[in-house]
Structure 1
Amino acid sequence: MSDALSADAVHLGLDLGTQSARAVAVDGTGRLLAAASRTVTGHRDGPRHEQDPEQWWSALAGACREALTGIDPARVRGLAVDATSGTILLADAGGRPLTPGLMYDDGRARAYTDRVNATGSRVWRELGYRTMQPSWALPKLLWLLDNTDFPDARLLHQADLITWRLAGRQVASDASHALKTGYHLTDERWPDAELAALGVPSGLLPRVARPGTVIGTVCGEAAATTGIPTGTPIVAGMTDGCAAQIGAGALTAGAWNSVLGTTLVFKGASPHLVRDPGGVVYCHRGPGGTWLPGGASSSGAGVLTRRFPGADLDTLTARAAATGSTAVAYPLVGAGGERFPFHAPGATPFVLGDVSGDAEAFHACLLGVACVERLCFDYLDHIGAPVTGPLTLTGGGARNRYWSQLRADVLGRPAGLPEHAESATGMAVLAATASGATLEEAAAGMVRVREELTPDPSRTARLTPVYLDFVDELTRRGWLDRSVAAHARGKAEQ
């Protein structure tokens, strides 16, 4: 019998985020043994956002060395890596970067999306997301091919650079990171004809494996650099949003994890591929036969940083809670419009209701995020995604207790707050599968919920008309389809 879920086993989760690289060591019962992080930096210039790939490796190696200090190497059973979705680079045959890393939100490839979507339309429809956005990996790959001259280059997703360095050779990419490069998730292959028509050389692309597959082992050189024992199994990982979903244990059909960070990201579990006529929801293929539908909003907690720079958010939250205000601010973070739960490039912030002073303005932002979140669920239900399973709230915004309760009240459904839900923890749970546990078994044994929030029915009843007014305003402005608004109203009246 495997000891994967015992206190003796140690599983490593490695996470490459936008601002840091993080490593955690978690035992088989879910106890966090150690965690360490290192800062990574990038460069922004208009729509461009780049990072130095060598910094990813050095930062993650340093975090691993610190996290493993004092842990018996014989206890380490496996590791998995997550990274940002759609971040890519070109590398040479030895795995050395030839270009900067084009980050997940780099928008330089806008001029390529029409060609990508016309050429791949059949495949993109089959996979349910219908169209690619400029920040997706495939349009950015075409930009790289047109603006560099590296005839023998290899495409690497962000996590691929790390697994190559860990194994000492190129290993398979995972299907989760490959999704935004056009990987055919149902046929489990690259769509060769479409990619060839776009001018993508077949030798450029990596082999691909399902998440949870053991793709290699840690080599001696990497062991000396990272402190990870030689021979440790490397498990194919997932993108950061999917990793956070695993860390929250949201893996049963209809379960959802709502990650409130700079923006709001939804990740759920479905027994079937969810196809979205609006093209704002797309599915990852989970380990086994499951599908993981999700979407990423352009709204979220980043609005607080932008509108209240330097504020004491705990104090402001207490003042906001005392106002009783029901004004709603549409909490867009940037200037690029909205991408989920509807696609509206021209969307701009607005406020419904009277706002007086910082406390009420702050509360309007908190309530606005909760309203967007409820609309996400209504949209998902509208397109046939299962939504009635358990809900977990994670991300930096979930640390605000009042805000989390407000979100549960607006949604009118219970919500769990996991103890250690983060992308790195999710990768530690996935790494446990290298020792023989299924992902569901690993999540059940390792994910701990620290608090369950119960909605206040009277507050839900008071806030539902506020939510419907918000939906009506989005519809009036022409951003939200009337059929979606009608579905939201019908759900509210049930």
Structure 2
Amino acid sequence: MTGVDPDVWLGIDLGTQGVRAVAVTSAGRLLGTGSSPLTSNRRGERHEQDPDQWWRAVCSAVGQTVAAGADPRRIRAVAVDATSGTVTLTDRNGRCAAPGLMYDDGRAGVEAEQVNTLGEQQWAKAGYRRMQRSWGLPKLRWLLDRYPHAVADGWRLAHQNDVINRTLVGHEVPTDTSNALKSGADAASVTWPEHVFAALDIPAAVLPDLVMPGTVIGEVCAGAAAECGLVPGIPVVAGMTDGCAAQLGSGATAVGSWNSVLGTTLVLKGVTEDLLHDPNGVVYSHRSPSGHWLPGGASSVGAGLVAREFAESGLDRLTDEAAPLLPTGLLRYPLVSSGERFPFVAPDAVAFRSREPVGAAEDFAALMQGAAYVERLCFDYVDLLGASTDGAVVLTGGATRNPVWNQLRADVLGRPVSLPRHAQPALGMAVLAASACGEYGHAEHGLDRAAAAMVRPDRVLEPRASHRSAHDEGYARLLGLLVRRGWLPDTVAAHARERTTP
């Protein structure tokens, strides 16, 4: 209404390389942003961060957001996301007593085998079958082995955003089932599987309470408000992982809708009514604040090869030269690193070309096309599992800066794709905060309404029918190459071919 200051929602994203904050109105107007870098210690399979820097970076990013024009008196709630599977231990006073083991820290290999042996039935029930060594529960067991006094001293498991939430409210907080999924939380019942933790000799006292994302867990305390430029009393809402936050920030919250993120690698996340069970352990599902499920998977294919292979080329010029070559008969499987995890599991998979390229432009065209074909195979795979895939497809990630690539992805998928204006995880947390504390109605629909109001569309791309048959043929050829290499199961390839046939 004219003359009335709008409600403002604050979202905070804890990424790998930095913290980002955004303040957004209920109508999706961006009032302010801020960011602050984070540093990591990487060595071999080790990837750690000093947790003390997380709060300092949050204060800097939020302070910049307020200075940019976001009136802290108008902020109605705040939510925080974090990197999935990043954990630490906190002491009785909530101070971090161990390093932050980051989302891709891979030292807990032995512990992962133990976790999978003792929790086999539970993980099958959860739909993902096996935990990876980088997940939170194997790392918790690893930490407890390295700090044998932790249990007696009252130390507790804390996920990355738990550390920030506790500092914001000034007291102990529950953790959300999204960040706790990889720590073994049962998202369907919002409980810890006590029998598994007992078998792993992990006492219940080590575990925080569990709540669904979107639950109000406290209010910003006076001390935290003074440090980061907020006002006391702002509700703090339980957040989600950064991947789920990015999905909310894309606006893909309704059943059947999908967010395809093409950055360094390709990540596909959607919304389903029911929990998907994947016999191959490729897809796992978070629980949406709406009560629906958020299945997804992360491929090792992506745009990360662009900087590696074409760093010396002018990408604008190269794109212009590649565009008229599409569709190209040169097939690529553009793996950024060895091994594939989605849409199939193949630890021995390596990048390949069907032949040598005729120049850099054709090679770049084949890279873009190869990533688009893998994206299509990801959709075929989740369709095979029974997911609804007929809703909106929203493209986000760094590759969306390339308009030729965007159009190519629409052509290959054979369906319209949309691109939102300000998609990012921090915006997703602002949407979550608004859905929890704003006037958006029943919880089941509040998230969809908040996303529709706050995520502004930029443009929609329609597929070009003239390219359909050529892409269908190229896609079928790629399926054959993957099957012959022993990576893609015949059942998956057969389903993909069925969906290709009109």
For 1:57 and 1:354, how far apart are their aligned partners in 2?
50
Identical pairs, percent: 53
Residue-by-residue CA offset, 1:117-173 (whole Å, 9 max, x unaligned): 111111111111111111111111111122233423211111111101111112111
Residue 113 of structure 1: how far off its partner (Å): 2.0
Residue-by-residue CA offset, 1:289-343 (whole Å, 9 max, x unaligned): 21111111111111222223354333322222243433222121123x1111111
- Letter of the structure 1 residue corresponding to residue 107 of structure 2: R
For 1:316 and 1:76, how far apart are their aligned partners in 2?
45
Residue 432 of structure 1: how far off its partner (Å): 0.5
For 1:268 and 1:54, how far apart are their aligned partners in 2?
34
Match of 1:472 in 2: 480
For 2:329 and 2:284, how far apart are their aligned partners in 1?
33
Q: Does 1:435 align with 2:438?
A: yes
Q: Does 1:128 align with 2:136?
A: no
Residue 394 of structure 1: how far off its partner (Å): 0.5
Match of 1:371 in 2: 373
Please identify, of 316-325 and 69-78, the stretch whose mean Cα deviation from structure 2 is larger. Answer: 316-325
Unaligned runs of 5+ in 2: 441-445
Q: Secondary structure at the match of 2:13?
A: strand
Q: Does 1:85 align with 2:87?
A: no
For 1:167 and 1:295, how far apart are their aligned partners in 2?
33
Is the Cα–Cα contact under 8 Å of residues 62 and 226 in structure 1 kept in the other structure? yes
Match of 2:407 in 1: 405
Residue 111 of structure 1: how far off its partner (Å): 2.0
How many residues were matched structurally? 489
Q: Does 1:390 align with 2:392?
A: yes
Residue 460 of structure 1: how far off its partner (Å): 2.2
Is the Cα–Cα contact under 8 Å of residues 306 and 333 in structure 1 kept in the other structure? no
The 5 A counterparts of 1:105-184 are 105-151=104-150, 152-184=154-186
The 5 A counterparts of 1:39-78 are 39-69=37-67, 70-78=69-77
For 1:435 and 1:37, how far apart are their aligned partners in 2?
25
Match of 1:444 in 2: 452
Q: Secondary structure at the match of 2:178?
A: helix
For 2:252 and 2:98, how far apart are their aligned partners in 1?
36
The 5 A counterparts of 1:294-373 are 294-309=296-311, 311-324=313-326, 325-335=328-338, 337-373=339-375
Is the Cα–Cα contact under 8 Å of residues 44 and 50 in structure 1 kept in the other structure? yes
Match of 2:13 in 1: 15
C-alpha change, 1:404 and 1:100, in structure 2 (3 Å) is same
For 1:425 and 1:135, how far apart are their aligned partners in 2?
27
TM-score normalized with structure 2 length: 0.95
Residue 357 of structure 1: how far off its partner (Å): 2.3
C-alpha change, 1:310 and 1:163, in structure 2 (3 Å) is farther
C-alpha change, 1:407 and 1:150, in structure 2 (3 Å) is farther
Residue-by-residue CA offset, 1:232-263 (whole Å, 9 max, x unaligned): 11111111111111111111111000011111
Residue 467 of structure 1: how far off its partner (Å): 1.1
For 2:375 and 2:92, how far apart are their aligned partners in 1?
44
Unaligned runs of 5+ in 1: none
Is the Cα–Cα contact under 8 Å of residues 329 and 349 in structure 1 kept in the other structure? yes
- Letter of the structure 2 residue corresponding to residue 469 of structure 1: R
For 2:352 and 2:260, how far apart are their aligned partners in 1?
23
- Letter of the structure 2 residue corresponding to residue 489 of structure 1: R
Residue-by-residue CA offset, 1:18-67 (whole Å, 9 max, x unaligned): 11100000001001111111111212111221111112211111000010
Residue 192 of structure 1 is aligned with which of 194, 197, 208?
194
Is the Cα–Cα contact under 8 Å of residues 36 and 63 in structure 1 kept in the other structure? yes
- Letter of the structure 2 residue corresponding to residue 309 of structure 1: A
Residue 416 of structure 1: how far off its partner (Å): 0.3
- Letter of the structure 2 residue corresponding to residue 276 of structure 1: D
Q: Secondary structure at the match of 2:89?
A: strand
Is the Cα–Cα contact under 8 Å of residues 12 and 426 in structure 2 kept in the other structure? yes
TM-score normalized with structure 1 length: 0.96
For 2:13 and 2:420, how far apart are their aligned partners in 1?
18
C-alpha change, 1:33 and 1:252, in structure 2 (3 Å) is same
Match of 1:482 in 2: 490
For 2:227 and 2:329, how far apart are their aligned partners in 1?
54
Q: Secondary structure at the match of 2:179?
A: helix
**RMSD over equivalenced CA pairs, Å:** 1.5
For 1:61 and 1:328, how far apart are their aligned partners in 2?
47
Is the Cα–Cα contact under 8 Å of residues 7 and 27 in structure 1 kept in the other structure? no
Is the Cα–Cα contact under 8 Å of residues 165 and 222 in structure 1 kept in the other structure? yes
For 2:357 and 2:238, how far apart are their aligned partners in 1?
49
Residue-by-residue CA offset, 1:63-93 (whole Å, 9 max, x unaligned): 0001012332221101111111111111212
For 2:270 and 2:165, how far apart are their aligned partners in 1?
26
Is the Cα–Cα contact under 8 Å of residues 5 and 74 in structure 2 kept in the other structure? no
- Letter of the structure 2 residue corresponding to residue 257 of structure 1: N
Residue-by-residue CA offset, 1:352-392 (whole Å, 9 max, x unaligned): 24412222222221111101100000000011111111100
Match of 1:96 in 2: 95
C-alpha change, 1:112 and 1:380, in structure 2 (3 Å) is same
Is the Cα–Cα contact under 8 Å of residues 185 and 285 in structure 1 kept in the other structure? yes
For 2:344 and 2:223, how far apart are their aligned partners in 1?
47
Match of 1:211 in 2: 213
For 2:252 and 2:184, how far apart are their aligned partners in 1?
25
Match of 2:464 in 1: 456
- Letter of the structure 1 residue corresponding to residue 362 of structure 2: E
Match of 2:34 in 1: 36
Residue-by-residue CA offset, 1:2-29 (whole Å, 9 max, x unaligned): x9xx961110010011111000000010
- Letter of the structure 2 residue corresponding to residue 279 of structure 1: G
Please identify, of 175-184 and 349-358, the stretch whose mean Cα deviation from structure 2 is larger. Answer: 349-358
C-alpha change, 1:302 and 1:7, in structure 2 (3 Å) is farther
For 1:312 and 1:85, how far apart are their aligned partners in 2?
34
